[in-house]
Amino acid sequence: MDKKEERDRNLFERAEEFLQVFKKGAEFTQELLKTNEQLRYRILQLEEEKRGAKSTPGAPDKQYEELAKQIEALKKEKEEIDGHIKEIESENKDFAQRYIEVEEENNNLANLYIASYQLHSTLDFKEVLQIILEIIINLIGAEEFGIFLLDEKTHELKIMASEGIDENQVPVINFGSGTIGRVAKGGEPYFMEDISDSLKLDWLNPIVAIPLKIKEHVIGVIVIYKLLQQKKNFTPLDHELFTLLAGHAATAIFSSKLYSESERKLSTIQGFIDLLTK
């Protein structure tokens, strides 16, 4: 009996132990299941992240593409703007050049206006000649020059006023002969092409000869032999100005000559009247 009891008790104890082990096994299984569940959840999370991670690099690509497009567009715009700037700069240069030309033309017009005003401010023949000399020095820049007038009776050109030259040495020039005579006959101005060619003073070969014309009638010639040292050459505007000035000078000379002659005649007539009436 005792043995049986003892066996039963041992059995019971072993069953107890087994039960304990089984319980622990159950707990362990439960824990494993829980961990498994957590891991599965984590896997799902990671898969989710992975999917997310896969889709994220796509976004910068797209943005990058858009940015690249914008950069391209901006580059194109910049090129267009650069082109416009170049065009504007070129236009500015043209305007600046045009401005200089207009200023030069204005300057010449002012010169012409003042010269003409001075020329017509007097009817005294000598004074008119003096004004012409002054104009040629100051506006044209001549150093050695003379004013030749045509003697209608002898058909000769004689020097009437000058600057920088000895008038006694200047010969009388026949109408139509030599550069000066030809200018007087043809009525067309003469400008030597290369002024530096004329280093030696030659009375018959001036550097410039401008006819003094009233309409088509030549009354004389302005002749330049030498320019001021700082005046190296004539510009096309100088040609124009000089020709226009010569036109005004011719009218002033003609008017003052007529006035002097009529004054002389008037004084002669007045003399006769005085003789007859006294």
Partner 1 sequence: MEEYKVLIVEDSPTMRQLIAFSLKRLKNIKIVEASDGVDGLKKLSQDSFNLIITDINMPVMDGLKLVSLIRKDAVYKAVPIFIITTEGGQEDKERAMALGANAYITKPISGPQVLEMVKSYLNIK
Kindly state the tokens that stand for 226: 């030498």
Stretch of 70-78, 83-91, 101-109, 218-226 lying at the interface with partner 1 (CB under 8 A): 101-109
Q: Which of 13, 134, 167, 263 binds partner 1 (CB under 8 A)?
A: 134
169 vs 230 by CB, closer to partner 1: 230
Judge contact between 116 and 250, C-beta under 8 A.
no
Whole-angstrom Cα distance, residue 23 to residue 106? 119
30 vs 106 by CB, closer to partner 1: 106
Judge contact between 227 and 236, C-beta under 8 A.
no
26 counts as binding partner 1 under rule CB under 8 A: no
Stretch of 135-143, 183-191, 246-254, 261-269 lying at the interface with partner 1 (CB under 8 A): 135-143
Whole-angstrom Cα distance, residue 258 to residue 43? 124
Stretch of 19-27, 59-67, 71-79, 224-232 lying at the interface with partner 1 (CB under 8 A): 224-232
DSSP assignment of 43-112: HHHHHHHHHHHHHTTHHHHHHHHHHHHHHHHHHHHHHHHHHHHHHHHHHHHHHHHHHHHHHHHHHHHHHH
64 counts as binding partner 1 under rule CB under 8 A: no
95 counts as binding partner 1 under rule CB under 8 A: no
Per-residue b or e along 50-85, where b marks 16 or more CB atoms closer than 10 Å to that residue's CB: eeeeeeeeeeeeeeeeeeeeeeeeeeeeeeeeeeee
Q: Which of 143, 158, 182, 195 binds partner 1 (CB under 8 A)?
A: 143
38 vs 97 by CB, closer to partner 1: 97
Task: Give min distance, CB of 240 to partner 1, in A.
Answer: 14
Q: Which of 137, 160, 192, 244 binds partner 1 (CB under 8 A)?
A: 137
114 counts as binding partner 1 under rule CB under 8 A: yes
123 vs 185 by CB, closer to partner 1: 123
Q: Which of 168, 230, 267, 277 binds partner 1 (CB under 8 A)?
A: 230
Judge contact between 197 and 203, C-beta under 8 A.
no
Sign of the Cα torsion 93, 96, 100, 102 reads: positive
Stretch of 29-37, 112-120, 180-188, 190-198 lying at the interface with partner 1 (CB under 8 A): 112-120
Instruction: Please give the sequence-ordered ranges of beta strands (E in DSSP) within the chain, or none if there are none.
Output: 142-151, 156-163, 173-174, 190-191, 208-214, 217-227
Q: Which residues contact 188 (CB under 8 A, 6 or more apart)?
A: 211
140 vs 223 by CB, closer to partner 1: 140
Q: Which of 123, 124, 141, 255 binds partner 1 (CB under 8 A)?
A: 141
Residue ranges that bind partner 1, judged by CB under 8 A: 103-104, 106-107, 110-111, 113-115, 117-118, 131, 134-135, 137-141, 143, 228-231
